[in-house]
Structures are given as C-alpha cells and as structure tokens.
C-alpha cells in the first residue's frame, strides 16, 4: 500500500521549503524514460535517503529530524525498470499511516533518514545517535528494526549503530563508530561481519558527549573525530515543565559526557518522548582532536592528535603513508553555533589532516577552497591511497548546481555546472567492471530541475564529468543525505 497525504502548509523554515520541502506521495513508476545511454554494466539499484516529515513539524524544525524516505531506481540492461519512494515505517510512521507496526521497535525508535546501503543481502536504512537501523525489502517496503541477528544491543544507553559505516574492500566487513548521548563519554567502534552479525565492539573514551557523524578507516586504524559539537542539556530540556526543569538539568549535568545514564532514567525519557529539538550545539570549550584506534586494539590503545577547532560531517578517505596517516575531510569552521536548524556556518572546504606518528602532531593543509560537501571516492580504495575524489558544491547550507572532481596528485579540481536551476545531491562512484583506472566508471546522483518541478537520476562520466544518461523520474526528490549503488546479486530477492 502506498500513500498520498495532504500538501503541507507553507512554512517560514527554509528546511521545509523549496528543495527541502517534503513530498507527500509515495510513487511507483515503471519503464522510465532515459536520455542518453545507460551503461550495460549498471545492473542494480541506486538508493538514496533523506528527511521527509510526515506531519507539519513547525517552524523550529531541524532538517536532521524529519522521518526518513528512501528513493530508488532499478537499472538493468540499459533500461530504468522502476522508481519507488517509500517512508521508513518506524512505529510512529506506521501509526500516522494507519498501518500495522513492522517488527518489534525498541525504546529508541526513529524512522532512519541518513544512509541506505546493502549488506549481507539486507537493504538497511541507517540513523545515528543510538537508534537501530531498519531493514527494507528489495522494493523498499519496511521489514522492521534490524539488530543484526541479535548482536546489536537495543536497550537504551547501549551504542546502537551508526549512519556512516565504511566497508573494508579486502574483507567486505562494515566498520563503524557509534555515539549515543546516553552513554556518557563513551563511543563504540564495531565490525559487522559478512555474515550480517557484529563480531567486534570496542568502547572508546572521549572528552564528553560529541556528535560523531562520520569517521575514517585505514588498513590498521579507525580514525575517530572528537570535535566540538556536543550534546546541549539546556536545548534538550527546553520542553521540560518549568517547575522540574532545574532538577532534570541537575541530574543530566552530573552524567552527560561523564557516565552513562541509569537504565530507569533512560527508559523514562524514552517513554516520555522528549523534545523534538535537535540537541547538539557548537561548544567552544571542547577540545578538537583526532584519534587513531588500532583496529585490533582496545579503547586504551587510541592515540590522540590535537587539531584546530572545526567540525567534520564527512571524510573522503584516509590511508597510511610511512610514519604518517593522511585523512582527507570536508572541514566546517564551526557548526550549530548561530544557525541551529541546519548546517550553515560558513564555507566547507576540502582539507587534508596529516597525523605524524613520530611527533604526535597534526598538520592541516587546504586541498580546495570551494565550498562543498558529500565527498565520495572509489570505495575499492577505502583505507588505501587514493588519487581522486568527487563532491558537490555547497553554499548557504544547501547543495548547488556543481559537481567537483579532485585530482589530489595533480592538485587540480575540475568543476562541472549542471545548468541553471539544477539542484544536485550526493553523487556516488560506480566503477566499470573491466576498468583499470581509478576514475574509470560513472557517478550516480539525483538532480532536481526547478523549472520542471521534477527530478532525474543523472549519470556522469567520472573522469570527465560529461553527461552519460539521465533517467526521468515521475516526481521530485527533496534535498537529502546519502545514497549508494546496490549491485544485483547482493540481495536474494533478485532471484525471484
């Protein structure tokens, strides 16, 4: 069953208008029109997710808090066989749509909205900060919460999972760093095996209670970003009744960033719902540092490197180079300091952090000064030396009409404008199966055409950024977060 909801009222909140405005209808379309020629080797699904509020959240809404909606296109034999968009059916979404609840949601239940990928035959919608992933069918219908066959603890105060795992190309395992404000000053590094079960989880002590959206992986280290965007008690308790607010804040001040909350306190907060306000803020008193955790070590073996205050949502890649570790990131000067409902605190630039293992010092250098976000690389090289990276232009808290190709060896950046009125989203790289060059393949990403009021799936040549093909979609794909290519053969349902 799919749904059409009443159009949302106009809002003063920019993250509910224009390119961010939620769509109100779930669509299924087949035999989509294609301009150009789709490469025959593209046999799979392009999936992307983002926030899509199911009800009017009000003018104070934070972009990161909308219910997740997945948009997918099935490509095969040079054709676009279908497009589907579906809300992730958490318990609250199922209730809003008057549907049965899928699976057994726990205390921390949220309609995942941040990343969607394929692992061990499962399509997984991911969210961070403690809530579990949701499993989807091949056709993007919700199965229910996923606990990785019982290996992911679902109790409040446990690490949960992450929105940004990285796959080791040698083993096929997913590595992740998970944070949860209820766990005090602990984050968790985990390894999800190719059997779909978590085989390793290690607690790491950090300064306080930071937001860790991403991390990086090298051959021997997990690269942990302990940066000054932290859980803000005043914001989180703004909706608590005035008479008891001092008591609640006093209790939280004694534990947040220090010790895990007691299970009864966590359960009460979970039952009570809590504020819909995004509770993370820029903290100028919090030290900025990068940690190297040996992949086979425990939390006591992490080595920290101090850096200048900044925030990083996304890493491009990282690798070891002799006595240094190189980490390429998109660096924001700060985050959620003055703009509190979305990421809009100045230019976000491609930056290289070089961690010197001999001296314990970090060196920072600029790779490209254009404002950009959503960096991607050839994921066959995750944790290994890379030459190329791709990103989209990012300005005033939103993506624009440009795609960037970085040649990091040559120190050159190619910029492609997709045209006036085009609004790009993240592009992911799909290699040519017979290619030998690192950039031999295509980029896939959704692009919205403001003039037409519709979106399309754009296919670009990764080496030249020239157009290869465009798949016309029946509606609009709002600005969102992460997308990935799920090749066929990874999901048993395709055999049907």
Sequence ranges of the domains in the chain: 1-110+418-496
Count CB-CB contacts under 10 A for residue 267. Answer: 15
CA distance 133 to 110: 9
CA distance 404 to 427: 10
- Confidence tier at 244 by pLDDT (50, 70, 90): low
Count CB-CB contacts under 10 A for residue 437. Answer: 13
Element holding 236 (H helix, E strand): helix 233-236
pLDDT tens by residue, 6-29? 665 667 899 999 999 999 999 999
Q: Return the beta strands (E) in 213-322 as ranges.
A: 216-217, 221-226, 229-231, 280-282, 289-294, 303-306, 315-321
Angstrom CA distances, 382 to 13, 270, 315, 378, stand at 37, 37, 11, 7
pLDDT tens by residue, 353-384? 999 999 999 999 999 999 999 999 999 999 99
CA distance 396 to 59: 18
Cβ pair 401, 350 in contact under 8 A: no
CA distance 199 to 477: 36
CA distance 96 to 244: 31
pLDDT tens by residue, 425-454? 999 999 999 999 999 999 999 999 999 999
Q: How many helices (H) and strands (E) does the chain have?
A: 4, 33
Question: Tokens representing 281?
Answer: 């803020």
Task: Please indicate, yes or no, whether the overall pTM of this predicted structure exceeds 0.85.
Answer: yes
């Amino acid at each position: 069953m799919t749904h059409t909801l009443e159009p949302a009222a106009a809002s003063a909140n920019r993250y509910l208008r224009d390119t961010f405005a939620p769509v109100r209808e779930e669509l299924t379309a087949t035999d989509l029109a294609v301009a150009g020629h789709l490469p025959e080797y593209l046999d799979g699904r392009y999936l992307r997710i983002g926030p899509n509020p199911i009800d009017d959240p009000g003018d104070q809404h934070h972009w990161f808090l909308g219910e997740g909606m997945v948009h997918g296109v099935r490509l095969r034999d040079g054709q676009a066989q279908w497009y589907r968009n579906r809300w992730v059916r958490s318990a609250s979404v199922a209730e809003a749509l008057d549907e049965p609840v899928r699976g057994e949601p726990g205390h921390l239940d949220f309609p995942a909205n941040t990343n969607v990928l394929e692992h061990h035959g499962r399509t997984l919608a991911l969210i961070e900060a403690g809530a579990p992933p949701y499993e989807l069918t091949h056709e993007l219908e919700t199965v229910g919460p996923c606990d990785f066959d019982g290996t992911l603890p679902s109790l409040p105060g446990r690490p949960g999972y992450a929105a940004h795992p990285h796959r080791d190309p040698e083993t096929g395992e997913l590595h992740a760093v998970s944070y949860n404000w209820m766990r005090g000053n602990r984050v968790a590094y985990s390894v999800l095996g190719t059997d779909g079960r978590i085989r390793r989880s290690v607690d790491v002590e950090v300064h306080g209670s930071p937001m860790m959206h991403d991390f990086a992986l090298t051959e021997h280290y997990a690269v942990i970003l302990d940066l000054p965007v932290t859980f803000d008690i005043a914001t989180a308790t703004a909706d608590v009744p005035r008479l008891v607010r001092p008591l609640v804040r006093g209790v939280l001040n004694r534990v947040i960033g220090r010790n895990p909350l007691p299970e009864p306190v966590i359960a009460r907060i979970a039952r009570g719902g809590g504020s819909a306000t995004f509770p993370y803020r820029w903290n100028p008193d919090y030290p900025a540092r990068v940690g190297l955790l040996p992949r086979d070590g425990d939390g006591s073996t992490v080595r920290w490197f101090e850096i200048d205050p900044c925030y990083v949502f996304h890493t491009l890649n990282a690798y070891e180079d002799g006595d240094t570790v190189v980490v390429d990131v998109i660096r924001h000067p700060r985050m959620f300091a003055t703009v509190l409902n979305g990421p809009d605190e100045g230019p976000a630039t491609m930056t290289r952090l070089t961690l010197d293992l001999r001296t314990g010092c970090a060196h920072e250098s600029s790779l490209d000064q254009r404002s950009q976000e959503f960096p991607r690389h050839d994921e066959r090289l995750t944790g290994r030396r890379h030459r190329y990276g791709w990103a989209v232009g990012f300005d005033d808290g939103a993506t624009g009409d440009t795609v960037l190709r970085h040649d990091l060896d040559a120190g050159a950046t190619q910029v492609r404008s997709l045209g006036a009125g085009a609004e790009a989203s993240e592009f992911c790289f799909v290699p040519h199966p017979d290619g030998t060059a690192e950039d031999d393949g295509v980029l896939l990403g959704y692009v919205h055409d403001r003039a037409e009021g519709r979106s399309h799936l754009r296919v670009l040549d990764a080496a030249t950024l020239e157009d290869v093909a465009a798949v016309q979609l029946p509606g609009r794909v709002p600005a969102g977060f992460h997308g990935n290519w799920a090749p066929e053969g990874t999901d048993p349902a395709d055999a049907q």
